[in-house]
């Protein structure tokens, strides 16, 4: 893989993450967030792991160290965010406590996750005892409120909002607000809630 294509995109993702958190980007603001924001450090270490993993074989030797840093950052933030998770630019974690993301979930750009959110896999067993596994896909500009639970191969459409405590097991159309257990659509045509959006 050509690291000239991967590392700049990883760096641009980190710039977008910084913009979402700080409202502007500079190297100094990025470093300040890493030093002071427990919910930003796991995002930064995840980007570091991605960059190192996608780099040359020599640089890849440092991946175990980066993974330890990422685990430490996640532990300090009280979240479970595997470094292999595919996450678009402009990712924002609010509060963080109790956040759980399955590593095979896919998260788009300018997504906001609050504390207690779970993006989990669904296992189904057929009558023949065959297991089918599925994971959620979160499209761009989605806002997911506190303690929302999104399970299985559902797709959350662009610009949608998932209310706190919602239990989502079905696809959500773009620009919709869902609430409840089980979640139902309470509004269509909503405006995306993205604070300090990064250009898509």
pLDDT, residue 20, reads 96
pLDDT, residue 14, reads 95
What's the mean per-residue pLDDT of the chain? 92
Q: What is the pLDDT of residues 78-115, one digit of tens each?
A: 999 999 999 999 999 999 999 999 999 999 999 999 99
pTM above 0.95, yes or no: no
Q: Which long-range contacts (CB under 8 A, 24 or more apart) does 153-159 make?
A: 153/122, 158/108, 158/192, 159/190, 159/191, 159/192
Report domain extents, the chain. Answer: 1-77, 79-194
Instruction: Specify the CATH number of the domain 79-194.
Output: 2.160.10.10
**% residues pLDDT > 90 (the chain):** 85
């Amino acid at each position: 893989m050509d690291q000239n294509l991967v590392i700049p995109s990883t760096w641009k993702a980190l710039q977008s993450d910084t913009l979402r958190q700080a409202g502007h980007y500079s190297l100094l603001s990025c470093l300040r967030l890493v030093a002071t924001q427990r919910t930003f450090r796991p995002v930064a270490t995840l980007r570091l792991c991605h960059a190192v993993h996608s780099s040359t074989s020599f640089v890849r030797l440092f991946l175990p160290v980066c993974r330890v840093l990422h685990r430490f950052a996640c532990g300090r933030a009280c979240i479970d965010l595997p470094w292999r998770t595919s996450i678009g630019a402009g990712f924002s974690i609010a509060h963080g406590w109790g956040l759980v993301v399955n590593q095979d979930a896919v998260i788009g750009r300018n997504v906001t996750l609050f504390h207690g959110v779970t993006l989990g896999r669904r296992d189904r067993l057929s009558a023949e005892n065959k297991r089918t596994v599925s994971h959620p896909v979160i499209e761009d500009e989605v806002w997911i409120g506190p303690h929302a639970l999104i399970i299985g191969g559902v797709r959350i459409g662009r610009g949608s909002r998932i209310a706190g405590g919602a239990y989502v097991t079905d696809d959500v159309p773009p620009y919709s607000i869902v609430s409840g257990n089980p979640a139902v659509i309470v509004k269509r045509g909503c405006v995306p809630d993205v604070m300090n959006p990064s250009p898509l």
